[in-house]
Amino acid sequence: MQDKLSELKSILAEVSDLNRAGAVLSWDQQTYMPRAGAEARGQQMGTLGKIAHEKFTDEKVGKFLDELKDAYHPESDEFALIKVTRRDYEKQTRVPADFVVEQAQVTAAAHEGWVAARSKSDFSIFEPHLEKVMDLTRRYIDFFPKADHPYDTLLDDYEPGMKTAEVKAIFAELRKKQVRLIQAIAEQTQVDDSFLHLKFSEVKQRAFGEKVITAFGFDTNKNRLDKAPHPFCTSFSVNDVRITTRYNEKFLNPALFGSMHETGHALYDGGINPSYDRTPLANGASLGVHESQSRMWENLVGRSFPFWEHFYPDLQKIFPSQFSDVKLRDFYKAINKVEPSLIRVEADEATYNMHIMLRLEIEIAMVENTVALKDLPDLWNARMKEYLGVVPPDDAQGVLQDIHWSFGGLGYFSTYALGNLISAQLWEKINSEITDLSTHIREGRFDSLLGWLHANIHVHGRKYEPQELIQKVTGSRLTPAPYLRYLENKFKDVYGL
């Protein structure tokens, strides 16, 4: 058995090396690559992906997985490795190679179409591409055993084990209460955040941001922060995890909270059991669990009052002309301002999930074929009015705002909202165990929080399925109640509800 396991592991190590080499190439493409290098870079990444796929889907791998299925104790790392590898193997071998090639071509064209459509704010340019993407999506679903709902197959790619019915039930509960909360807030005196929209030099933003994320646990011996058009986190090993950010010199929030967010991802990737490196276990449990970490550091920590009790004097020192006359309490209210808006990635904590629900409903309708694609802009705008009371003036600020459909990423959006819920569910548990956590935060100490997350979440990598992990850690499956409690408490505080 030991020989077979080590033979399997040496194949998985090669596949991991190829995938991580691909990740380095992608990181470089988004940070430093000269523009003209794009074509060759696409070929290089394509070759690495193709070889990784060939090696991983080799029959040998399936044979080892069969032979090793019952060889290890269900609680062991070896058992988890076989189980998770089996899951990936099933997914990758069910999809024929020529489908993958077709998908790459269709989505490459769809991406171009989306860019053009968005720049002209004209959905009809994107519609024929989306038609093809949806055709691929339905064929993709057919490669898998029939689920309770066809959308389950898509969800499962991003959030293993999550069902459409369960997400719908969770979101139904959220919608009712979040809509009420948003309405209640709308009736209060509005918050002034004009001082967040002054001039903030990139150099100073960077200096302050680095101070914050270093306090969180970001470590230049194994982490890097670079600039990129789109913020992301990427991991080349537990000892080399990098994030990016972009600076807006007219608005303090994006780079600051964006860096905290990406640091949350980076601390997760860097905290995975090093013995999982070069195996499929060396990743987060799911996108939702990953997002719970980024949201926790960004919102539950970074938008909390104790955090700013510690850091606001530093911020005032770095930006005296902007903040010397602004009281801590007013600053805190400003960074937590609620305002229904058009763009998901700019949404506040109270309204964010509404953007996700709208997308989930539309995606399910697309998969069920109960909506004509040409009607999407109207459907989108109607729902925006119903949920948030705002209507996009054009498609670019409406149905065309997100990249996800152009790459066929249906099923992805939910994980953002699930991440919010998981972050609050974990937060209640953490505060019950580290009862003086807010004192630590007020003192600028984050080691107790990070230590807890490392020991309870990070170290496990993909060993447990997301729901299994949440159950194990909090004692219950994913539930929206903690997040709703969190929102109500927070906005009671900010808006005096």
Name which of residues 249 to 308 contact a second copy (CB under 8 A): 277-278
User: Where does this chain touch a second copy (CB under 8 A) — which range of 25-33, 145-153, 410-418, 437-445?
Assistant: 25-33
Asked if 98 interacts with a second copy (CB under 8 A), we say no
Asked if 17 interacts with a second copy (CB under 8 A), we say yes
Asked if 220 interacts with a second copy (CB under 8 A), we say yes
Asked if 48 interacts with a second copy (CB under 8 A), we say yes
Asked if 223 interacts with a second copy (CB under 8 A), we say yes
Residue 412 CA to residue 241 CA, distance in Å, equals 23
> Which CB sits closer to a second copy, 203 or 370?
203
Asked if 460 interacts with a second copy (CB under 8 A), we say no
Q: Residue 235 CB, nearest distance to a second copy (Å)?
A: 10
What is the 3-class SS of 430-461, one letter each residue? HHHHCCCHHHHHHCCCCHHHHHHHHHHCHHHC
Asked if 479 interacts with a second copy (CB under 8 A), we say no
Residue 158 CA to residue 284 CA, distance in Å, equals 11
Helices and strands (H, E) in the chain, number of each type: 21, 3
Active site residue 262: yes
Locate 420 and state its tokens.
């919010």
Asked if 183 interacts with a second copy (CB under 8 A), we say no
Asked if 51 interacts with a second copy (CB under 8 A), we say yes
> Which CB sits closer to a second copy, 39 or 75?
39
Asked if 28 interacts with a second copy (CB under 8 A), we say yes
Asked if 44 interacts with a second copy (CB under 8 A), we say yes
> Which CB sits closer to a second copy, 274 or 313?
274
209-213, Cβ contacts within 8 angstroms, sequence gap of 24 or more:
209/245, 209/255, 209/256, 209/259, 211/311, 211/314, 212/256, 212/259, 212/260, 212/302, 212/311, 213/259, 213/260, 213/263
Locate 353 and state its tokens.
């999930």
User: Where does this chain touch a second copy (CB under 8 A) — which range of 18-26, 82-90, 440-448, 464-472?
Assistant: 18-26
Q: Residue 8 CB, nearest distance to a second copy (Å)?
A: 16
User: Where does this chain touch a second copy (CB under 8 A) — which range of 72-80, 88-96, 217-225, 372-380?
Assistant: 217-225
Asked if 239 interacts with a second copy (CB under 8 A), we say yes
Asked if 226 interacts with a second copy (CB under 8 A), we say yes
Residues whose CB is less than 8 angstroms from the CB of residue 354 and which lie 6 or more positions away in sequence, other chains included: 175, 178, 179, 182, 340, 347, 387, 388
Q: Residue 287 CB, nearest distance to a second copy (Å)?
A: 23
Q: Residue 221 CB, nearest distance to a second copy (Å)?
A: 5
User: Where does this chain touch a second copy (CB under 8 A) — which range of 31-39, 196-204, 369-377, 443-451?
Assistant: 31-39
Asked if 203 interacts with a second copy (CB under 8 A), we say no
Q: According to CB under 8 A, which one of 5, 9, 14, 339 is a site residue for a second copy?
A: 14
Residue 294 CA to residue 79 CA, distance in Å, equals 29
Residue 229 CA to residue 441 CA, distance in Å, equals 31
Asked if 94 interacts with a second copy (CB under 8 A), we say no
Residue 440 CA to residue 443 CA, distance in Å, equals 5
> Which CB sits closer to a second copy, 302 or 461?
461
Asked if 34 interacts with a second copy (CB under 8 A), we say yes
66 burial type by CB count under 10 A (0-12 exposed, 13-18 middle, 19+ buried): exposed
383-391, Cβ contacts within 8 angstroms, sequence gap of 24 or more:
383/358, 384/342, 384/358, 387/175, 387/179, 387/354, 387/357, 387/358, 388/182, 388/340, 388/341, 388/351, 388/354, 388/355, 389/186, 389/340, 390/340, 390/341, 390/342
Find the catalytic residue in 159, 166, 262, 468.
262
Q: According to CB under 8 A, which one of 4, 41, 383, 442 is a site residue for a second copy?
A: 41
H or E element in which residue 415 lies: helix 414-433
Strand, helix or coil for residue 357: helix
Residue 424 CA to residue 338 CA, distance in Å, equals 18
Count, residues near a second copy per rule CB under 8 A: 38
Q: Which residues are catalytic?
A: 262
Residues that bind a second copy (CB under 8 A): 13-14, 17-18, 20-22, 24-25, 28, 32-37, 39-41, 43-44, 46-48, 51, 220-224, 226, 236-237, 239-240, 242, 277-278
